[in-house]
Amino acid sequence: MTTSQPVPASAGGIPGAAASSASVNALQIPDLTGRTAVVTGANSGIGLPTARALGRAGAHVVLAVRDLDKGKAAATTVPGSHEVRRLDLAHLASVREFAASWDGDLDLLINNAGVMMAPEGRTKDGFETHFGTNHLGHFALTNLLLPHITDRVVTVSAAAHRWVKGIDFDNLYLAGEYNPRRAYGQSKLANLLFTLELQRRLSDVGSRVRSLAAHPGLAVSNLGPRSGLGAQLGRMLFKIVAQDTEAGAQPTLLAATQDVPGASYAGPDGHSGMRGAPALVGRTAAASDPAAAKRLWAQSAELTGTDFSGVPL
């Protein structure tokens, strides 16, 4: 595993480049005037401060949300040019409708939305809730929007990818073996493998588009169980060690706006990656396995009916 490495704007995106530590709020975001960004799940959690930061920098921000009313309420706090569009990542028909309605260039796609530690369930297409929403929904969305994307795709993973040793390709939905922790961890591992394989495909065709990943550390959000002992313990833990959503959004913003190499993974540089300044961080061997990434892509393409095509060079 590589060591954490703070990357301010001056680091130039060179792997291993020396960079001084900075405070969590010191990330310098360049002028994004004239650029368009889609942020899924932008009405809450780290998605909202991500949208606000991009809006302050001059980008036109599209809040892609499941609940339009909540999205419109959140949008009133986003500076600059913005709009709200409906997107339900747990329903491929909604994903296709969103993508089909897109016209023109899309500079930045931030795959941020997700569910965490949910009871066993299925999406409208019959996929396990975490895998279907966190991974397959974003997989389909990215592939359908690729003909429009001009700069980069940032997919939000989590330190929880370390909770599993690999993707259970023989039982993707963990039928008969379901555990919320395992299901969530597998979906976050899938996010990283998706990022890896997408970058390989982009590089193979000579595209300038980059695929990157980020994780917020332990940040206050509306994810996770709302009741029970686990929720109570979680709230106590948050009070002690969690950072706020603004700080949690910083690794996403690093990946979205700084000159870092494709397939980079950003996260907090503090103890166990739970909090700290945004930095390039390490991932597990399972999250760096190109064979697993290719296999996951093939299965995801079959399940969603979408695949890599039409990317701008």
Catalytic residues: 184
Q: For residues 293 and 301, give the distance between their C-alpha atoms in angstroms, rounded to a whole number.
A: 12
Q: What angle do CA 118, 219, 15 make, to 5 degrees?
A: 110
Of 184, 216, 206, 181, give the one whose Cα is nearest residue 262: 206
Q: For residues 29 and 271, give the distance between their C-alpha atoms in angstroms, rounded to a whole number.
A: 25
3-state helix, strand, coil in the chain (%, to 5): 40, 15, 45
Q: Are 245 and 221 in contact (CB under 8 A)?
A: yes
Q: For residues 110 and 37, give the distance between their C-alpha atoms in angstroms, rounded to a whole number.
A: 7
Could you tell me whether strands 265-268 and 278-280 are parallel, antiparallel, or unpaired per DSSP bridges?
antiparallel
**28-54 CB burial, b ≥16 within 10 A, e <16:** ebeebeebbbbbbbbbbbbbbbbbbbb
